[in-house]
């Protein structure tokens, strides 16, 4: 089915208009998108999905490189075995998203600058636990929530199936990352933990900026500066961005990173508006736009 028809169909079935939640920007005063026609929002919705799928693809390519790096760097043989199976998973994910984009979608977007610099930073770090923390906790944690949301919105059966398979793998990868790190982080010195807190925060900041979809807006004649300036005034858009961190925050807590050093990371996550997810245990498959609203109103 062509992507535009699918957008119409989804809107009819869900009652959520095409282009939502970005569409909420249209209601603000002096908004550059207030005069967009219905057709423009449909086109935007299609391209917004292309951007998401493209960043999934680039993230999977990064995961492939990072897990190969882990196999090389991690000191235990069992972790090497596990890492090797993960390399195979990631190669399959790259192939799946790449084919889906090629065959089903009108275009592929280049890698987001923030995602690229985070992946480069992870790959360039000689500490193996940083590879786990950056890739399995932050990048894959955000991906799990983003996959879950796409699973909940799309009415395309092939895409649903593809995402379900990938999510089952990623949930395993994230869980293994947490288990491996929990043991190691118990024995780190205060200064070493402090470095991990700072790294986790910077990685989350990269991911927050990645979710602004900087590669998408200029193609529709809107500058990223305009979008960033409007964002704090649109609660729906912001809540959805926060929801993407609903897997990362509880996992940082499990690793002891939130409260070390008088809660330094807790304070950063509070500033980012994502601390309300610290005790969340909702499965990524269950996430919807409404979960964001429920979480923020409590
Ligand atoms: Fe993956
Ligand atoms: Fe993975």
pTM of the model: 0.93
Any idea which ligand is nearest the CA of 61? 1
CA 256 remoteness from chain centre: 22
Domains and CATH numbers, the chain: 3-16+37-297 (1.10.620)
Distance (angstroms) between ligand 2 centre and the Cα of 141 equals 9
Distance (angstroms) between ligand 1 centre and the Cα of 135 equals 10
In tens, the pLDDT along 148-181 reads 999 988 989 999 999 999 999 999 999 999 999 9
Any idea which ligand is nearest the CA of 82? 2
Report pLDDT for 231: 83
Distance (angstroms) between ligand 2 centre and the Cα of 170 equals 4
Distance (angstroms) between ligand 1 centre and the Cα of 190 equals 32
Distance (Å, whole) CA 236 – CA 233: 9
In tens, the pLDDT along 263-285 reads 999 999 999 999 999 999 888 78
Distance (angstroms) between ligand 2 centre and the Cα of 218 equals 30
Distance (angstroms) between ligand 2 centre and the Cα of 86 equals 7
Distance (angstroms) between ligand 1 centre and the Cα of 120 equals 17
Distance (Å, whole) CA 204 – CA 70: 21
Task: Encode the chain (298 residues) as per-residue pLDDT tens digits.
Answer: 789 999 998 898 888 899 988 898 998 988 999 999 999 999 999 999 999 999 999 999 999 999 999 999 999 999 999 999 999 999 999 999 999 999 999 999 999 999 999 999 999 999 999 999 999 999 999 999 999 999 988 989 999 999 999 999 999 999 999 999 999 999 999 999 999 999 999 999 999 999 888 999 999 999 999 988 888 888 888 888 899 999 999 999 999 999 999 999 999 999 999 999 999 988 878 887 777 766 676 5
Any idea which ligand is nearest the CA of 67? 2
DSSP, res 112? P
Any idea which ligand is nearest the CA of 95? 1
Strand residue runs (E) in 39-176 = none
Cβ contacts of 123 within 8 Å, gap of 6 or more:
65, 66, 69, 131
Distance (angstroms) between ligand 1 centre and the Cα of 146 equals 13
Phi, psi of 272 (to 5 degrees): -75, -10
Any idea which ligand is nearest the CA of 66? 2
Report pLDDT for 298: 53
Any idea which ligand is nearest the CA of 172? 2
Ligand 1 (single-atom ion) residues, CB below 5 Å: 60, 63, 90, 93
| Cβ proximity of 210 and 183 under 8 Å | no
**Residue among 129, 139, 163 nearest 245 (CA):** 139
Any idea which ligand is nearest the CA of 171? 2
Distance (angstroms) between ligand 1 centre and the Cα of 78 equals 20
CA 228 remoteness from chain centre: 18
Distance (Å, whole) CA 89 – CA 282: 24
Ligand 2 (single-atom ion) residues, CB below 5 Å: 63, 140, 170, 173
Q: How far is CA 198 from CA 78, 226, 253, 255, in A?
A: 29, 29, 14, 14
């Amino acid at each position: 089915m062509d992507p535009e028809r699918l957008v119409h169909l989804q809107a009819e079935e869900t009652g959520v208009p095409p282009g939502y939640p970005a569409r909420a920007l249209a209601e603000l005063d002096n908004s550059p998108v207030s005069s967009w026609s219905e057709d423009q929002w449909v086109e935007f919705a299609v391209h917004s999905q292309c951007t998401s799928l493209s960043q999934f693809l680039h993230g999977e390519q990064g995961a492939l490189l990072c897990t190969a790096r882990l196999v090389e760097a991690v000191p235990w043989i069992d972790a090497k075995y596990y890492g090797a199976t993960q390399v195979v998973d990631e190669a399959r994910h790259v192939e799946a998203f790449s084919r889906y984009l090629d065959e089903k979608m009108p275009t592929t977007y280049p890698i987001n600058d923030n995602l690229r610099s985070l992946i480069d930073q992870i790959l360039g770090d000689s500490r193996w636990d940083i590879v786990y923390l950056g890739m399995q906790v932050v990048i894959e944690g955000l991906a799990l929530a983003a996959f879950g949301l796409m699973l909940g919105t799309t009415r395309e059966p092939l895409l649903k199936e593809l995402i379900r398979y990938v999510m089952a793998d990623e949930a395993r990868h994230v869980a293994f990352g947490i288990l491996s790190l929990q043991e190691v982080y118990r024995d780190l010195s205060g200064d070493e933990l402090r470095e991990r807190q700072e790294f986790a925060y910077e990685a989350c900041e990269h991911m927050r900026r990645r979710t602004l979809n900087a590669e998408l807006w200029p193609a529709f004649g809107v500058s990223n500066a305009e979008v960033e300036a409007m964002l704090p005034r649109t609660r729906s858009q912001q809540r959805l961005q926060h929801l993407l961190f609903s897997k990362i925050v509880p996992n940082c807590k499990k690793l002891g990173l939130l409260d070390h050093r008088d809660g330094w990371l807790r304070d950063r996550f509070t500033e980012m508006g994502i601390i309300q997810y610290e005790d969340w245990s909702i499965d990524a498959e269950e996430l919807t736009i409404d979960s964001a609203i429920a979480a923020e109103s409590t």
